[in-house]
């Protein structure tokens, strides 16, 4: 039976969270909204509509949502040719693939996904990508994780999810998948552990160095009996 290694992308495999923060901050500023970078950072990982609701409130003029998202996408798009991969992210995915894990990206990324995959540079190790566009509800709902498990043809008990936000941890925990948190996205260890992270590492390189003593080593192998 298959085992699934599920990975968020922004802030987990690529060092792009602060590029998103800057792009959203400028998009809000251009539209006349005063939103702090700290608040934006804490909302990263949510689908666009949910991010806007969290930062601007449900009572906002929703007719502006598309323009705000488009402004963010345009600003972020200026970085597409130089998105930085986090150290050892490619090595981590390739090692898991060699060990028989089905690697699936679980992301809220949209138009930038092609650029992100190019930055990761581990295409041969990636089985599939589960986007929030593929499901009714994005993170922190478990829907993207359930979809990723379907793509990997693996049960929750044979899967590990790696992410950098509380939304990642909540989505994985609600899907019954073991959660691993990374600190490279800027969210404190306590916050990740509080919402379900079974283990927390500094970044992909740290997880790679300790892989044999991580939740990946604890995942069941072989067929159910």
121 and 193 part of one domain: yes
Within-domain flag for 225: no
Indicate if 38 and 132 belong to the same structural domain: no
User: Is the domain of 123 the same as that of 210?
Assistant: yes
Q: What is the pLDDT of residues 32-57, one digit of tens each?
A: 999 999 999 999 999 999 999 999 99
In this prediction, residue 75 has a pLDDT band, given cuts at 50, 70 and 90, of very high
Confidence of residue 131 (pLDDT cuts 50, 70, 90): confident
Do 73 and 131 lie in one domain? The reply is: no
Q: Which of 44, 63, 78 is the last residue of a domain?
A: 78
Tell me the CATH number at 206.
3.40.50.1000
Residue-range definition of the domain harbouring residue 51: 17-78
Q: Is residue 223 part of a domain?
A: no
Into how many domains does the chain fold? 2
Asked whether residue 130 is assigned to any structural domain, the reply reads yes
% of the chain at pLDDT higher than 70:
98
> pTM for this structure?
0.94
- Alpha-carbon separation of residue 178 from 6, 17, 157 (angstroms): 10, 23, 8
What CATH number did the domain enclosing 28 receive? 1.10.150
Whole-angstrom Cα distance, residue 125 to residue 122?
Answer: 6
pLDDT tens-place string over residues 138-168: 999 999 999 999 999 999 999 999 999 999 9
Band (218; pLDDT cuts 50, 70, 90): confident
Q: Among residues 49, 78, 107, which one ends one of the domains?
A: 78
Per-residue pLDDT at 225: 36
Q: What is the pLDDT, as a whole number, of residue 133?
A: 80
Q: Are 180 and 199 in contact (CB under 8 A)?
A: yes
- pLDDT band per the 50, 70, 90 thresholds, residue 132: confident
**224 inside domain:** no
Q: Is residue 68 part of a domain?
A: yes
Segments in the chain forming alpha helices (H): 17-30, 37-43, 48-56, 65-77, 89-98, 113-120, 143-152, 166-174, 189-194, 204-209, 215-218
């Amino acid at each position: 039976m298959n085992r699934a290694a599920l990975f968020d992308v922004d802030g987990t495999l690529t060092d792009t969270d602060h590029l998103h923060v800057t792009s959203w901050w400028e998009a809000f500023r251009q539209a006349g909204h005063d939103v702090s970078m700290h608040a934006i950072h804490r909302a990263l990982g949510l689908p666009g509509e949910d991010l806007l609701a969290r930062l601007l409130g449900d009572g906002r003029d929703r007719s502006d949502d598309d323009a705000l998202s488009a402004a963010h996408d345009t600003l972020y798009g200026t970085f597409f040719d130089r998105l930085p991969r986090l150290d050892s992210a490619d090595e981590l995915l390739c090692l898991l693939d060699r060990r028989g894990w089905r690697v699936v990206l679980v992301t809220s990324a949209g138009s930038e996904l092609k650029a992100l995959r190019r930055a990761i540079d581990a295409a041969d190790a990636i089985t599939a990508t589960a986007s929030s566009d593929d499901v009714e509800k994005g993170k922190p709902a478990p829907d993207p994780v359930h979809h990723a498990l379907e793509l990997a043809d693996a049960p929750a008990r044979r899967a590990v999810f790696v992410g950098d936000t509380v939304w990642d941890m909540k989505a994985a925990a609600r899907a019954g998948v073991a959660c691993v948190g990374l600190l490279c996205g800027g969210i404190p260890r306590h916050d990740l552990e509080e919402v379900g992270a079974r283990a927390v590492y500094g970044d992909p390189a740290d997880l790679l160095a300790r892989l044999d003593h991580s939740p990946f080593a604890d995942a069941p192998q072989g067929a159910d009996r």
